[in-house]
Every structure is written in structure tokens, then in C-alpha cells.
Chains A and B, each alone.
Chain A
Amino acid sequence: MQPTESHRRYWRKNLAVTAVLLLVWFSVSFGVSYFARSLNFTFFGWPFSFWMGAQGALVVYCLIVGFYAWYMNRLDIEHDVADED
């Protein structure tokens, strides 16, 4: 059982999108928190980093997870590995 070239491409693309999204996840979670004091400008009433921790980061997490589900679903079909319900 050897995976085909298409399978390898599928896996490489999966790894790439995972890495990019993890990078976004990391910078939103740890990057913004690390510089929280400096990012203290007012953002609709909130100090920006407070808003990021309370709401912004959560929105980004939802987008990351939703985008991944959408992207991988397309990739599954493109590379003919989609499973049936």
C-alpha cells in the first residue's frame, strides 16, 4: 500500500495550512498577551489588549477552526479522499 502522488500533495497542503493557522493562533494568544502593556490604546472603550483577551482572540479562534473545516473539506474533494457520512 503506497500513497499516490496526489495523496502526498494532499498531506503536504494539510501540513502547510495547519502550520499557518497554528502560527496565527500562537501570535494571537501569546504574542498579544506578551505585549499587553504596550498595546494599551483605547479600542471602543476597552484597552486593546484587554479586548483581545476577552473577545478578539475568541473570534480569531472561531475563524481559524471554521476556515480549517471549510478548507479541508474542499481539499478532500479535490484530492478525492472525502469520506461519506
Chain B
Amino acid sequence: MAGFFGSREGVLLSSQQFKRQLDRVYRWYTLGLVVFVVILALLERAGLPRLWIGTAFLLATIGLYAGIGVMSRTTDASEYYVAGRRVPAVYNGMATGADWMSAASFIGLAGTLYLTGYSGLAFIMGWTGGYCLVALVLAPYLRKFGQFTIPDFLGERYGGSLPRLIGVAAAILCSFTYLVAQIYGVGLITSYLTGIAFELGIFLGLGGILVCSFLGGMRAVTWTQVAQYIILVVAYLIPVVWLSVKQTGVPVPQLVYGFQLEKVTAKEKELTADPRELQVRELFRQRSEALSGKLAQPAESLAADKLAAAKRMEQLKTGNASVADISSAAKALATMPRDEAAAVKAWTAAKAAADIKTQPLNGMPAHATQFSGNPDGTPKEQETYDTSRRNFLALVFCLMVGTAALPHILMRYYTVPSVREARQSVTWSLVCIFLLYFTAPALAVLVKYEIFTVLVGMPFDQLPAWVNSWTRVDPSLLSVTDINKDNILQLNEMNIGGDIVVLLTPELAGLPYVISGLVAAGGLAAALSTADGLLLTIANALGHDLYYKMIDPNASTVSRVTVSKILLLIVALLAAYVAAQKPADILFLVSAAFSFAAASFFPALSLGIFWKRANGIGAVLGMVCGLGVTSYYMFTNQAWLRATFGITSPVQLWWGIDPISAGLFGVPVGFAVIVLVSLVTRPPSQKVQELVEYIRYPDLKRL
């Protein structure tokens, strides 16, 4: 069976035979996927319970990935680290697509677009535009250099162990923060699919990741990622196409959602002025005021609240109230804040939530409006507009440069056979990614149209069943409360978490549950494939760069690969442990990884290729300073990091830039330091200059 992904009876296939064989394997695989979904759909009609469908998807996909892992097991260093360097450009593009599109892209992106409208497009542009930098500035040259990891390049180009060591540290820093977010996503989806506990879900998913990357390294990861790409794209497209047919009759949502956007914009105006919406907003304003009253005198208010709750309990008990009333009153009493500090915290959070709901459209900006504020309005509005626009551009910049510097993506271009295929492969990667990112804005608009026109205004007792079933899964993801007691759902009476929008689409479109299962399996594929790539990057940085290149250069191939595998296991368990703690603010963690990667790697890598004069000291100081500035800005200004590390210095934003885009300051500092320090110190050796010359030409035949 191992012959599928490499040699047959030990004989290496020619690259064309290999590609034909891959075509055949993945054609059968796609057919199998379709048959599997159709069979499950028929079984659902015959009455198969939902839980079984979810479990079937979970077990079948994880089993499939593990199977590919077993078939591709290897201890050969070149197979383990770079899949034997013979992945055809198209397949490397698909694998990069899966590697790239994480749980954040698959589950979170459309939700972010739904909630923030135009501002969310920063993610679309940032996460695709970065590939221009990958293609033009990095990928072909790294492929020509042709080692195993990114720290390898830094070590060779800048000489000595220090650049390599910083490279290792930075690679681990950004990959690990990113990895935690993926494993968190895995836990979320497995618990949705099968109803098992979140923590158990994490470890189940982890098993799938480990079998794959543990046995076969990059070789297994590559072939699994291709399989995962196919699942995730199919799963993403089906519900959107269906929703588009339902709303417009045209099965190409990417072409027609502009017209739906016009209707959404009209509906937004209507909802802003709707009397029932105004009523709900007024009720939230009163709630917010009551809470600020409480916050002014926390000690007295808490005592009064406790007294009132106890009194109510007494009344209910003596007055023959129903069991449900008594138990809810008891629950209210039990969940009272314990002390003043807890009360202040809870009330501040409640007030912030209520304040959002005093705004029109549930606090969402109008979908098509670029930036908040108004360039022609009052000075304050102008200021808001300028800051909002600056932050949009800064975020695009950080995401783009970060994309071009994330080691797990750059590593993928080591696996193609040639420089020419590396360039083609970036094109294929972008096309594969394009398919999903082109669709996400359409999905957000179509979902918004569906919610605004169908769901909003519906009587509470006629709401579809999935509304209640999601509320049971997690009320922070979806909940509805009849605030003004008119039995009609208003937009401001509904809470939707961004992470649920994609999972919700099949149900909104009225598709059978099997498609919901498929979408969840797609999200799982997205999270697992990215986790695979990240885990491998960390393990290789430790096993190859730290152990082999720096600690024991005489280690045999087998022991190098073994060390990588053991480290893989440890890192995976560590990441699962951190993810099980449910660290706050996952989107922030992901974006922070981009800023870190941008500031630490991009200047050193690009100058290393395009500027011969860049030397080791410059690169070391540049990476340290870039990373330092980025971390400083993030740690002193980001609320969650400040709270976690107990930082009390006042928040000082530079030009109003949000800490999520801290790389905006780190990248130029990195460039400046490398250039200045290199110019005042000795130029790199002749050997290094020849290396730079060497990587600039795909093949130097006639030197």
C-alpha cells in the first residue's frame, strides 16, 4: 500500500508516472467521499439519528487521515522532512491550501465578515495578498537553497549558530501560538459532531494528527493535506451554493451576492428605524443604566441584590410555586457574585454587553460601509474615520507580511522538485485558497440576508428547531431572548457568535443534517491539516536545527528522525494541554502569530536573498529588535496579555494602531536595524556571497 505515495516495490516512479498515479488515487478518493455522503444521506432519510451521522463523519475522516499516515510512514530524512522533494506543483498547491486554511479561515472568517462587514475584508486581502510576497520574494529562492527548514536558511546565509537559534525560537513562538488555536478548534468541532466533552474531543483529534505526522513526517502530512483540502473545499461550497439557489435561483453565489448585498443594505436601513427594534434598544439602555448605578456603589448593591434574591426564594417556597420557578430562583441565588470584586467584574461585562445592544443592528456596522466614522462629519467622527482606516491598512499589512513569513507555509516549497515548480506551486496554492476566500464574503452576505429577512420578525414559538439545539450546545454561540415580550424575534434580541455562522449555513439553507456533518468535517479537516503542518514545523525546528545542527552534528539519520518524532509527541501534548485551558481570545492569538512571524522572519529572509551586504550581526540584531518591538507593543497594550501578565503601565497606542497589528512597527524596525548594522560592520564572507549568487539562478550551468 505504501506504493500509493512513492515507490512501487522499491522502484522509484518517474515524475510523470507519479503524477498520474496521484491523479488516479485522488479521483477515487473524491468519488469515495461523494458515495460516503450519499449513503449517509440515504440512511438519514431512513431514520439514522444525528449523533450517529456526526460520529460516522468524525471516525471516517480521522481514520482516513490515520490510514494515509500509516501508508506513508518513513524514517528516511529527506522523505520525513521534505516528502522526498517530488510533490508535483498542483498537489503541493492543494496541500499548501489545506495547510494554510486553518480553523480560523474555515469557521471564523465568514463569521467575522458577517459581524464586521467591510472591515472583515482586511482578512480576505491580507491572507491572500501575502502569497504575492511568497511568490515574488521568497519561495523560488528558498527552494533553490534547498535545505529542510527556515532556520536552516538563516543559519547558512548569516553564518553561525546564533541566527539559527533565533530562527528556531521565533518559529516555535509563532507556530505554537497558532497551534493552540487549531487544537482548540478541533475540540470545538468534535464536541459538536459527537456531543463528547471538549477536552476529550481535543485528545481524539490529537490522535488523528499524531498518527499522521508521527509516522510519516512531511510525506504523510502532504498526502493527508491534499485529502483534507478536497473535503474542506467541497464542504464549504455545497451549503453556499444551495443558499444562493434558494435566494436567487443562480448557483454561483460569488457572482450574484452583490445584488443580495443591495437588499441587505436596504433592510439595514429599515431595521435601524423599526419601532420594535427601538423598543428593544431602549430596554437595553435602561439595563445598562441600572448596571452603572450598581457599579457606582458595588458593596451596597450586592448586599441589596442578595437580600432581594433570598426574599424571593422565601416567598416562592411558602407560596406553593412550581418546582421550575424555585429551582431557577435557587440558581440565581447560587450564581450571585461572591464578593465585591467579582460583582464589579460581572456587572462591567454585563454593561458592556448591554451597551452593544443599545446600538442599531445589534452593534454591527452597516455591511457595505467602508470604515466607521465620517470623513466629512464632526472632528470626532473624522478622527474615528482616520483611525479606522489606518487600522484596516495596518492589519492588511501585518497579515500579508506574516503570511509570507510563516515557517510552516514556506517549508512547503521545499517539497517540490524544482524552482520552476516552486513558482507554479505558489500559483496553485493561491488558486486553491482563492476558491474558499472568494466564497467567504458571499457566504456572509447570504447568511445575513437570510437572518434579516426570514428569521428576524418570526414569532418565538415558530423558530426553527436548530435555534434551540444550538442554544443548548453553547448559549454564547447562539441565543435568543424575548426582551420586549412581544413574541416576535428582533435582531437585537439575538446573539450570534462569529464561529457558528459557517456551521449554521446548512441549517439556514434547509439542507439535511448530513451536510451539517460534512461542513463540520470540513472544519475539522482545516484545523487538523494546519495543526499537522505547525506541529511538524516545531518538531523539525527542535529536532533538525537544535538537536542535529547545533547539539549533535554526528547524529545518524535514524536518530535525527526519532528525536523529531519524540519532540513532536511532547509538543503536541503540551499544545493540547494549553488548548484545554481554553485561553481567551483565540482570534487574537492567531493574529499575534502573524505579527510575530512578520517582524522576525520577513526582513532577514528577504534581505538575505536580495541584498548581499546583509550580514550575520545585522540579521541577529534585526530579528531581535523586530521581535522585541512587536512583543513590547503587544504586551503593553493588549487587554488579555496585560491581564495575564499583570502589566499595569498605562495603555499607549502609537497613532491609534490596535495591538493586533503590532507587526506594523516590528517590520520596519527589523529592516532598518539589519541595513544600518550591516553597513557599519564587516561584509559577509566570500562564501556567503557565492551562496546568495547561487540561490538567485535556478541552475548555474555555465559559470
Contact = CB atoms under 8 A, between A and B. Distances in A.
Interface of A: 1-4, 7, 10-11, 14-15, 18, 21-22, 25, 28-30, 33-34, 36-37, 40, 43-47, 49-51, 53-55, 57-58, 61-62, 64-66, 68-69, 72-73, 76, 80-85
B370 A81 contact: no
A54 B121 contact: yes
A22 B137 CA distance: 9
A72 B125 contact: no
Contact of B136 (A22, A51, A53): A22
B237 interface: no
Interface in B55-88: none
Given A34-B389, A84-B699, A46 B427 contact: no
Contacts of B610: 15
16 contacts: A2-B703, A30-B393, A37-B371, A45-B258, A45-B261, A49-B370, A50-B261, A53-B118, A53-B122, A54-B438, A58-B434, A64-B132, A69-B135, A73-B423, A80-B701, A84-B699
B396 A81 contact: no
Nearest to A66: B427
B427 A57 contact: no
A33 B136 contact: no
B420 A82 contact: yes
A78 to B, nearest CB: 12
Contacts of A22: 132, 136
Contacts of B118: 36, 50, 53
B254 interface: yes
Interface string B372-402: 0001000000000100010011001100100
B76 to A, nearest CB: 20
A44 B420 contact: no
A38 B385 CA distance: 13
A40 B129 CA distance: 22
A65 B578 CA distance: 38
Contacts of A21: 132, 136
Given A33-B125, A49-B370, A62 B420 contact: no
B135 A50 contact: no
Interface stretch (B456-464, B493-501, B689-697): B689-697
**The 10 A-B residue pairs with the shortest CB-CB distance in the complex, in nearest-first order:** A45-B258, A53-B121, A83-B699, A36-B370, A69-B423, A54-B441, A46-B258, A83-B698, A65-B135, A45-B259
B261 A29 contact: no
A61 B131 contact: yes
Contacts of A51: 258
B140 A72 contact: yes
> Binding site of A, secondary structure by majority: helix, strand, loop or mixed?
helix
B675 to A, nearest CB: 17
B441 A83 contact: no
A41 B180 CA distance: 42
B696 A11 contact: yes
Interface string B97-137: 00000000000000000000010011011001101110111
A18 B135 CA distance: 10
A57 B574 CA distance: 39
B698 A29 contact: no
Contacts of A62: 427, 430-431, 434
Contact of B697 (A10, A28, A34): A10
Nearest to A39: B370
B700 interface: yes
A66 B89 CA distance: 13
A13 to B, nearest CB: 12
A3 B703 contact: yes
A25 B132 contact: yes
B693 A85 contact: no
Interface residues of B, number: 59
B420 A18 contact: no
A25 B696 contact: no
A77 B441 CA distance: 41
Most buried by A among B136, B392, B696: B136
B121 A50 contact: yes
Nearest to B260: A45
B420 A65 contact: no
A14 B42 CA distance: 56
B125 A29 contact: yes
A80 B702 contact: yes
A58 B437 contact: yes
Interface string B130-148: 0111011100100010000
Contacts of A64: 132, 135-136
B426 interface: yes
Given A21-B132, A55-B441, A83-B420, A30 B703 contact: no
A66 to B, nearest CB: 5
B370 A50 contact: yes
Contacts of B128: 57-58, 61
B698 A82 contact: yes
B92 interface: no
Most buried by B among A1, A53, A81: A53
A58 B438 contact: yes
B201 to A, nearest CB: 33
B471 interface: no
A65 B371 contact: no
Contacts of A65: 131-132, 135-136, 426-427, 430
A38 to B, nearest CB: 9
Contacts of A43: 258
B684 interface: no
A30 B396 contact: yes
A68 B134 CA distance: 12
Contact of A81 (B129, B371, B697): B697
Given A29-B400, A83-B419, 6 more contacts: A1-B690, A7-B700, A28-B129, A43-B258, A69-B426, A81-B697
Nearest to A55: B438
A82 B700 CA distance: 8
Contacts of B437: 58
Contacts of B423: 68-69, 72-73
Contacts of A11: 696-697
Contacts of A68: 135-136, 423
B262 interface: yes
A61 B430 contact: yes
Nearest to A54: B441
Contacts of B431: 62
Contacts of B122: 53
Contact of B129 (A3, A61, A83): A61
B159 interface: no
B124 A29 contact: no
A42 to B, nearest CB: 8
Contacts of A73: 420, 423-424
B284 to A, nearest CB: 29
Given A36-B370, A83-B699, A53 B135 contact: no
Contact of A37 (B121, B124, B370, B427): B370
